[in-house]
């Protein structure tokens, strides 16, 4: 696994045949014109990696925006995810094709299992995904919300290039990072800005001042300097989308990197009832966040395991 390191340019993680741009655009909760506008702004700003999912209800918007920007297909890295209800082999085959139709693409670069299933054997789901790969509909396979144990199991059935999990300065993922290095899998950080919470963090604000950058830019740079890590911040604001990409012209020192790592407080923000056993209790801060977060606007909602409040996933 290597990371190229030229300044002022997008960085990549190279894992078993996949070249994944280290910074991508998240699109959860973005739909319609908001989603199309965000994707177009991002591509114009230099992003080449876009993350969507069957559950986000926005694959058609992502596809429309990608068509509108007219960047060559082989320059783009498009990820989508198979929803929890679609993990039987038959549904994988059917719904992957439906996703491609909505995206108006011949193939996606990365197809993930969105959440591990407690009912459908992993080997069945991955078996069907391998067929999609053989048919040229999917370039690479991956998983999301997999624990180290589940990730190891997945790698026994297929070449897994990425595990997409919640990861930000307040939720360390040391075990998953170690296992990613062993299994040669990229670790894609979702909710990398802790859904906006990094904005008021004194440490990150102070560090940003030193570099002439915002706390969000410092946070995203921290991910860029972790070899096996990819980050997919979401924003609906053109200014934020552009600012989040303006992180390839400065470097954090080893001390800065360590200081950010010390912000960990085991704060898991996304913990729906269908989640696997993570092996740790959520922090009080995370429960407060789930209780007070504004109501989500997307299609898929499920009760939080800890608060019972409906959360979107």
163 binds ligand NAP (CB under 6 A): no
Q: Is 56 a catalytic residue?
A: yes
Stretch that binds ligand NAP, among 102-110, 190-198, 203-211, 296-304 (CB under 6 A): 190-198
Q: Is 36 an interacting residue with respect to ligand NAP (CB under 6 A)? A: no
Judged by CB under 6 A, does residue 77 bind ligand NAP?
Answer: no
- Residue 290 as a binder of ligand NAP (CB under 6 A): the answer is no
Question: At 133, phi and psi to the nearest 5?
Answer: -65, -45
Among 88, 195, 227, 283, binds ligand NAP (CB under 6 A): 195
CA–CA separation, 302 vs 11, rounded Å? 35
Question: Residues 55 to 74: which contact ligand NAP by CB under 6 A?
Answer: none
Judged by CB under 6 A, the residue of 190, 222, 223, 248 near ligand NAP is 190
Interface with ligand NAP, residue 216, by CB under 6 A: yes
Stretch that binds ligand NAP, among 98-106, 117-125, 237-245, 250-258 (CB under 6 A): 237-245
| Residue 27 binds ligand NAP, judged by CB under 6 A | yes
Q: Residue 236 interacts with ligand NAP (CB under 6 A)?
A: yes
Nearest CA-CA partner of 186 in 112, 123, 134, 249: 112
Which of 56, 167, 170, 190 is catalytic? The answer is 56
Q: Is the torsion defined by CA of 40, 45, 47, 52 positive or negative? A: negative
User: In the complex with ligand NAP, which residue's Cβ is closer, 134 or 312?
Assistant: 312
Whole-number Å distance between alpha carbons of 130 and 139? 10
Residue 35 in the binding site for ligand NAP (CB under 6 A): no
Which of 86, 125, 144, 290: binder of ligand NAP (CB under 6 A)? Answer: 144
Q: Would you tell me which residues interact with ligand NAP (CB under 6 A)?
A: 26-28, 51, 114, 144-145, 164, 190-196, 199, 214, 216, 232-237, 240, 243-244, 270, 313
Hey, which residues are catalytic here?
56
């Amino acid at each position: 696994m290597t990371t190229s390191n030229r300044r002022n340019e997008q960085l990549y993680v190279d894992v078993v045949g996949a070249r994944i741009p280290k910074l991508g655009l998240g699109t959860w909760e973005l739909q319609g014109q908001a989603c199309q506008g965000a994707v177009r702004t991002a591509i114009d700003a230099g992003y080449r990696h876009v993350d969507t999912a069957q559950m986000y209800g926005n694959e058609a918007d992502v596809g429309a925006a990608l068509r509108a920007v007219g960047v060559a297909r082989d320059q783009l890295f498009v990820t989508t995810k198979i929803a929890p209800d679609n993990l039987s082999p038959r549904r994988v085959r059917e719904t992957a094709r439906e996703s491609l139709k909505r995206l108006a693409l011949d193939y996606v670069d990365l197809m993930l299992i969105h959440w591990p299933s407690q009912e459908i054997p992993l080997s069945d789901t991955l078996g069907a995904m391998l067929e999609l790969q053989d048919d040229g509909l999917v370039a690479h396979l991956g998983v999301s919300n997999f624990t180290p144990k589940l990730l190891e199991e997945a790698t026994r059935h297929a070449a897994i290039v990425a595990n997409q999990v919640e990861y930000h300065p307040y939720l360390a993922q040391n075990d998953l990072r170690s296992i990613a290095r062993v299994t040669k899998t990229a670790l894609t950080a979702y909710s990398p800005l802790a859904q906006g919470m990094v904005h008021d963090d004194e440490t990150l604000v102070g560090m940003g001042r030193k570099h002439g950058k915002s706390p969000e830019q410092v946070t995203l740079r921290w991910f860029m300097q972790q070899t096996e890590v990819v980050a997919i911040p979401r924003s609906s604001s053109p200014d934020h989308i552009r600012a989040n990409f303006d992180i390839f012209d400065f470097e954090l020192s080893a001390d800065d990197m360590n200081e950010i790592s010390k912000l960990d407080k085991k704060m898991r923000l996304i913990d729906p009832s269908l989640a696997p056993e993570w092996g740790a209790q959520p922090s009080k801060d995370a429960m407060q966040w789930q209780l007070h977060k504004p109501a989500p606007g997307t299609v898929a909602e499920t009760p939080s395991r800890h608060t019972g409040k409906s959360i979107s996933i």
